[in-house]
Amino acid sequence: MRCQILHESKGRIRIRDVRFRMTMEEADKLQYYLQGVGGVRRVTVNDRTRDAVIEYTGPRESVLDALARFDYDTTAVAVPEHTGRALQREFEDQLFFLIAKRLLKRLLLPADLRHLITLLKSIPYIVKAVRCIRKGRIEVSVLDAVSIVVAMLAGDFETASSVMFMLKIGELLEDWTHKRSVDDLAERMSLNVDKVWVRCGGTEVLTPVNEVAPGDVIVVRAGGLIPLDGTVLEGEASVNQASMTGEHLPVRKTDGSAVYAGTVVDEGECVITVTQASGSGRYDRIIRMIEDSEKLKSETEARASHLADKLVPFSLVGAGLAWALTGNIAKALAILMVDYSCALKLAMPVSVLSAMREGSDHRISIKGGKFLEAAAEAETIVFDKTGTLTCAAPRVTEVVPFGGRDADEMLRLAACLEEHFPHTIANAVVEAAREKDLRHDEIHSRVEYVVAHGIASAVGEERVLIGSSHFIFEDEGVTVPEGGEPLLDSLPPEQSHLYLAVGGELAAVLCIEDKVKEEAAGIVAGLHELGFSRVVMLTGDSRRTAAAVAARLGIDEFRAEVLPEDKAAFIRAEHEAGRKVIMVGDGINDAPALSEADAGIAISAGAAIAREVADITITEDDLHELLTLRRLSAALMRRIGFNYRFIMGVNSLLILLGLAGLLPAAATALLHNASTLFIGLRSMKPLLSDAE
């Protein structure tokens, strides 16, 4: 790339492309290329001026070398499908032509023709107001129409024209602010790249979903998300379609059944022929999700929105009284120029969208303002243990055989069963067998996965089980070989135990170590500092293991050997006690509790069904995001409170100034729209900088 340096200071350089013209696509490519250069902190590229401002912390030479290597045609750069540049250009053009058209009209057209145009332009506002009144509602559209009609009846067509011009500007600013917030959020979310297992020549290859084409064959197993529309080629599965159809009960899918992107396999396994490839549809689905999320308004948002509509009749009455008492139409118009609705209905959702966007910057995916409010107000936070408080990288430390059996053979059998239903514990068993070079060819019949319990199968005539203590001893009635009780009691309490039974008798116990995350104790302390009165751990693990982990982390309360329904029941009990609850989990067995909580938080590396039913998703490698979420949600609630007070205060002041005759109608309209734009733009600012 050939360019010239226009200006330079420490850590900042402005360059200009020497070419005559730069397209928006080229500007995006240059911007995302430079953002990927090591040491570059921020980049802004203007396609109209062909300038790029680069802020960097690394060596100056690396930035210049990167510019020298860049070529618009040959350099490969991953650019998001939607970058927001086209939206910004559309808004700039609309604003320019709107202002230019008004200026030209005032300069070139005679007064009578301008008045006729004003009269014609008022008709849509009047029609909209009449429709609103016919529906029994008095909203801001009625206020707008009354102000326009009153001005024209008073013979002040210039004021009526100015009112419509300011309304148009206000609508344009509101539309742009809202679309910009949605677009920014969608851009960040669309950068997530999902992968899927594609069947190729008898083998399965993990492939980015955007590389899968119609006709390809993919495999989805229990707990997996179906990423693309398709038809079941073989297999049988129970599919949760709640995200698509709202059905709460899973739907059985067999050969020939249609399946849809975004649904989750609860049980079973299916091989799917893809009918709809990934692409622009993904972005559109994200946009729809965000739009749907706006329906999940917090109670604070809803109250502000309802208040905005309730205040419209008071504005009308105030204007009527001003006219009746003073006989001054200008004072009445000054009141009519101001309404609370625009700013309230713009600032509140934009604040939420901004918070959701900022959450995505911190790798937190949030489905709506309702859940941010819950995250700010919750008193109880509930954790699953494995994969949430622990590293989700367990390893088998020892295989303890019973009844004179061989430890390696028991590990081989356990791996043979577990490989069919991969989760963190199963992967640890399979990896332990691989490290010992133990081949585990299929020697059993079809396996059956019992959620939150274990796996059942058969080898020859003998029933084989592997799973939790509850599943093995209580549900299945397995016995311990004679003389094995002391050995069973001596197992290390700080480790998890996986029990293997053959023919109704305990055959081996696999001791599994899953290290507690280094930051977990600090996170629990931080949650207490941020206002959580109860930090609780619910786990299906043994009581001994759970007690050791809870004591180490400073957890207030724990429940061990719980089933999925027990976790959900605990959250219901908290609700009955009047407490809002957050649930954090990652497994299939956490899904009921995640749904029951006021805000369910899933770990991104966990089961797809957990992510699907959760309201918020965080990455698996850093629990600090929970603290960030709490601060972010609390800052959002403070911002909404400030917005409410600012809007009510400023607009009330404008009404009083208009009533006192200190501001004409056009001035109150201008200041009202300016304050609306200010609060809208302020609502787009980062929240955490305000909170810290």
**Spans of all domains in the chain:** 3-79, 89-187+295-351+634-691, 195-282, 352-390+516-633, 395-513
Beta bridge partners of 465: 456, 501
Asked if pLDDT for residue 643 goes beyond 60, the answer is: yes
Query: How many CB atoms within 10 Å of residue 291?
Result: 11
Q: How confident is residue 164, by pLDDT bands cut at 50, 70 and 90?
A: confident
**CB contact set of 283 (below 8 Å; sequence gap of 6+):** 81, 82, 186, 190
User: Which of 279-288, 544-553, 673-682 comes out lowest in average pLDDT?
Assistant: 279-288
CB atoms within 10 A of CB 202: 5
Provide, for the chain, the percentages of residues in helix, strand and coil under a 3-state DSSP scheme, each rounded to the nearest 5: 50, 20, 30
255 has a pLDDT exceeding 70: yes
Write down the mean pLDDT value for the chain: 81
- pLDDT at residue 443, as a whole number: 53
For residue 289, pLDDT beyond 80 = no
Our CA dihedral for 147, 148, 149, 153, rounded to 10 degrees, sits at 100
**pTM listed for this prediction:** 0.63
Q: What residues are paired with 258 via a beta bridge?
A: 231
What's the pLDDT tens digit per position in 124-143?
A: 999 988 998 888 877 777 87
CB neighbours of 302 closer than 8 A, spacing ≥ 6? Answer: none
What letters, b where the CB count within 10 A reaches 16 and e where it falls short, cover 479-507? ebbeebeeebeeeeeebbbbbbbbeebbb
Are the C-beta atoms of 18 and 84 separated by less than 8 Å? no
**pLDDT tens, 204-243?**
887 877 678 888 899 888 777 787 888 999 888 888 765 5
d(CA 648, CA 666): 20
**More confident call, 80 vs 102:** 102
Q: How confident is the model at residue 304 (pLDDT cuts 50, 70, 90)?
A: low
Of 346, 305, 308, 318, nearest to 668 by C-alpha is 318
Domain 195-282 fold: 2.70.150
Contact 392, 404 (CB under 8 A): no
DSSP-assigned letters across all residues of 438-486: ------S---EEETTTEEEEEETTEEEEEE-HIIIIIIS--BPPTT-HH
Q: Write out the H or E segment, with its range, that includes residue 377.
A: helix 369-377
For domain 395-513, say whether CATH 3.40.1110.10 is its number: yes
For the ranges 171-175, 266-270, 427-431, 576-580, the maximum mean pLDDT occurs at 576-580
Confidence band, pLDDT 50/70/90 cuts, at residue 379 = very high
Residues 390-410 have pLDDT tens digits of 876 788 999 999 999 999 999
Query: DSSP characters for 186-198?
Result: HHHHHT---EEEE
Q: Measured over all CA atoms, what is the biggest interatomic distance in the chain, rounded to whole angstroms?
A: 108
pLDDT in tens, 568-599: 899 999 999 999 999 998 766 777 888 888 99
What confidence tier does 526 reach under pLDDT thresholds 50, 70, 90? very high
Task: Report DSSP state, residue 19.
Answer: S
pLDDT tens digits for 323-378? 887 777 777 777 777 767 667 767 777 788 788 878 877 878 787 778 888 999 99
Q: Which of 144, 384, 590, 598 is catalytic?
A: 384
> Is 284 assigned a catalytic role?
no
- Does pLDDT of 280 surpass 60? no
Q: Any idea how long the chain is?
A: 692
CB atoms within 10 A of CB 175: 13
CATH number of 3-79: 3.30.70.100
**Phi, psi dihedrals of residue 477, rounded to the nearest 5°:** 65, 35
Mean pLDDT of the 18-23 span: 88
CATH topology for 352-390+516-633?
Rossmann fold (3.40.50)
Q: What is the pLDDT of residue 303?
A: 65
User: DSSP letters along 491-519, please?
Assistant: S-TTSEEEEEEETTEEEEEEEEE-PBPTT
Residue 193 pLDDT more than 50? no
> What is the pLDDT at residue 300?
63
- CB-based contacts of 548, cutoff 8 Å, min separation 6: 493, 494
Lowest mean pLDDT among 15-29, 170-184, 370-384, 458-472: 170-184
